[in-house]
């Protein structure tokens, strides 16, 4: 029973991460100029590496997403996806450690400023891939697959809604405008 639940939730999580990676890849490919700017903002890669990275990262994301959907190579896909997520997490942590807070995270979806919560998010996503990475995830019947994909799709919609909420919250704080101290010539 427990092994079955782990199998089903692990499969759902793998499908969810696959959708998430696909969305991220499409987002990056749709606006390459912006993504290159985001990469440059992180300030971690040398300039000559920006254009190859800009092409490589979406390709890796699509490869990982595809592999996650096919049981025979699911473990490979999980490893690749975990590698990507942890690399992004490490890049965000490095940028944050240098005090680059107000840059777009480039995560796919609306523009979000960097934060430690995004690093934690990537760690949680990586943990969700563990069952798939160990070959303990997947479905055996059509009904299981249907329920799993339904979970992944609803999960993606809720995820995107959560990101939009965070972006709206950030805008709402910005829209308050200058503080009284700035308006009246205090500490600028």
Partner 1 sequence: MSLVVFALVALWVLVLVLAVVILVMLRQIGVLYERISPMGALMDNAGPQVGEPSPRFTPRSLTGPDIAVGGAGGRAQLVFFLSPTCPVCKQLLPVLTSIRTDEKAWLDVVLASDGDEPKHREFIRRQKLGAFPYVLSSELGLAYRVQRLPFAVLTDKAGVVRAKGLINNREQLESLFSALSAGVPSLQQYAANHAAE
Residues 47-106 that bind partner 1 (CB under 8 A): 47, 104
Please, which residues have CB within 8 angstroms of residue 86's CB and are 6 or more apart in sequence?
122, 123, 126
Q: Of residues 33, 46, 72, 99, which one binds partner 1 by CB under 8 A?
A: 33
Nearest approach in angstroms of CB 65 to partner 1 is: 20
Q: Of residues 110, 113, 115, 138, which one binds partner 1 by CB under 8 A?
A: 110
- Helices 74-97 and 50-69 pack at an angle, to 10 degrees, of 140
State the alpha helices, DSSP H only, in 31-141: 32-42, 50-69, 74-97, 116-128, 130-133
Pairwise CA distance, residues 108 & 28, whole Å: 7
113: contact with partner 1 by CB under 8 A: no
User: Considering only CA atoms, which of 49, 44, 134 is closest in space to residue 88?
Assistant: 44
Q: Show the tokens assigned to 171.
A: 């805008």
Of the pair 42, 88, the CB lying nearest partner 1 is at: 42
Q: Of residues 4, 45, 165, 179, which one binds partner 1 by CB under 8 A?
A: 165
Q: Show the tokens assigned to 45.
A: 């890669």
Pairwise CA distance, residues 118 & 90, whole Å: 11
Nearest approach in angstroms of CB 171 to partner 1 is: 4
Of the pair 72, 178, the CB lying nearest partner 1 is at: 178
Nearest approach in angstroms of CB 155 to partner 1 is: 9
Residues lying near partner 1 in the complex (CB under 8 A) are found at: 33-34, 36-38, 40-41, 43, 47, 104, 110, 147, 150, 153-154, 157-158, 160-161, 164-165, 167-168, 171-172, 174-175, 177-178, 182-183, 185, 188
């Amino acid at each position: 029973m427990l092994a079955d639940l782990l199998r089903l939730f692990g499969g759902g999580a793998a499908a969810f991460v696959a959708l998430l990676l696909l969305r991220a890849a499409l987002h990056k490919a749709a606006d390459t100029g912006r993504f290159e700017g985001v990469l440059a903002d992180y300030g971690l890669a040398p300039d000559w590496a920006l254009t190859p990275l800009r092409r490589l990262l979406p390709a890796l994301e699509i490869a990982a997403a595809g592999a996650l959907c096919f049981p025979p190579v699911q473990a490979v896909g999980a490893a690749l996806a975990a590698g990507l997520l942890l690399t992004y997490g490490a890049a965000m942590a490095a940028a944050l450690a240098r005090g680059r807070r107000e840059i777009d995270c480039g995560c796919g979806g609306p523009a979000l400023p960097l934060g430690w919560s995004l690093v934690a998010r990537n760690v949680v996503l990586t943990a969700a891939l563990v069952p798939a990475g160990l070959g303990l995830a997947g479905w055996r019947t059509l009904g299981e697959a249907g329920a799993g994909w339904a979970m992944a799709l609803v999960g993606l919609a809720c995820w995107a809604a959560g990101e939009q909420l965070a972006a709206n919250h950030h805008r709402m704080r910005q829209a308050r405008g200058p503080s009284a101290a700035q308006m009246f010539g205090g500490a600028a």
